[in-house]
Amino acid sequence: MLKHITIKSIKKGIVNEIIESFYNDTNIKVYINDYLEIMFICLDNDLEPLVRGYLSNIKKDFIQNIVVEKNSIFVQVSLKKDEFLNLLKDREVIQTCESITLTDNLMDNKRNKDKVIIPFNNSRRNIHINDLLESCRDFYNFDCSDSYLCRSKIVFLGNNGEFLNIVESYDINPKNAVYKAIGLAKTKRDELLDSIIFINFRLDVEILKKIILSKITFIVFIEKPSFAVLRFAQKFGLTLSQYIPTEEMRILTHSTRIN
């Protein structure tokens, strides 16, 4: 997974050659039945969760089997080509989050097929600030040599707000890191409402779309996002929190869930 190469280092005017290690991303091909090929450029860890995360908006009953063979992943689905492609397209967010409307019936033929239809995140779950800070310290206290890895962690909440199962994954690509974490989480729970996702990279609108569709309630990060991210999170009911390493937590949207 690691590649070691010799690079030039210049420090205080002194030039040295040092050996540096880099994570080696790989071309991973996903074959859906015999009619679709998808390629990811990512690290070769958690490949089955990567696929399940990418296809998490498709009912799991349609996915019959996933087989990983080296850099190839073979997926069997109980859908014809047109059915699968239409369903995959229908359940992706088209253009912007502004196209999302309110209903649970994703197969309604009367709806506009250029829109993804999901409900507002109406979770009433609360988190104690001390529990959130403790989890942040654990997640963001990592080896600086791997600081360029994109890491995602999803935590499930119990009935009393306690932190339960944890799944975590990583990649060099932020979106793939989110796919993998969601895929791992889906192996433990079908419903991700009331869960928290921690990320160590900047949250943008594209990544937010995937998290909105997964119905995760809380997102924690360290880099300040754009205002568009805040606007969409506020509109669709997600709680955004920015962790400041000086033990400060800034609650940016739907702050009543943090007490």
For the chain, give every domain's residue range.
Answer: 26-99, 129-257
* φ and ψ of 40, to 5 deg: -110, 145
Query: Torsion angle of alpha carbons 210, 146, 240, 244, nearest 10°?
Result: -170
- Domain made up of 26-99: CATH architecture: Roll (3.10)
Q: What is this structure's pTM?
A: 0.79
Q: In whole angstroms, what is the distance from residue 205 CA to residue 57 CA?
A: 18
Residue environment code for 224-250, b if the CB has 16+ CB neighbours within 10 A, otherwise e: ebeeebbebbeebbbbbbbbeeeeeee
Q: In whole angstroms, what is the distance from residue 26 CA to residue 174 CA?
A: 15
Token pair, residue 141, equals: 């206290």
The SS3 assignment for 42 reads strand
Instruction: Tell me the β-bridge partners of 38.
Output: 30
* Tens-digit pLDDT string for the chain (259 aa): 677 878 666 667 677 788 877 677 788 999 999 888 888 888 889 999 999 998 887 888 899 999 999 889 999 999 988 888 877 764 443 333 333 333 334 334 444 444 555 668 888 889 988 899 999 998 988 655 566 789 999 999 887 777 888 999 999 999 999 999 999 999 998 889 999 999 999 998 889 988 998 899 999 999 988 888 888 888 899 999 989 888 888 898 898 898 8
> Which CATH superfamily is 129-257 part of?
Cytidine Deaminase, domain 2 (3.40.140.10)
Query: Torsion angle of alpha carbons 253, 136, 168, 128, nearest 10°?
Result: -60
Amino acid occupying residue 5: I
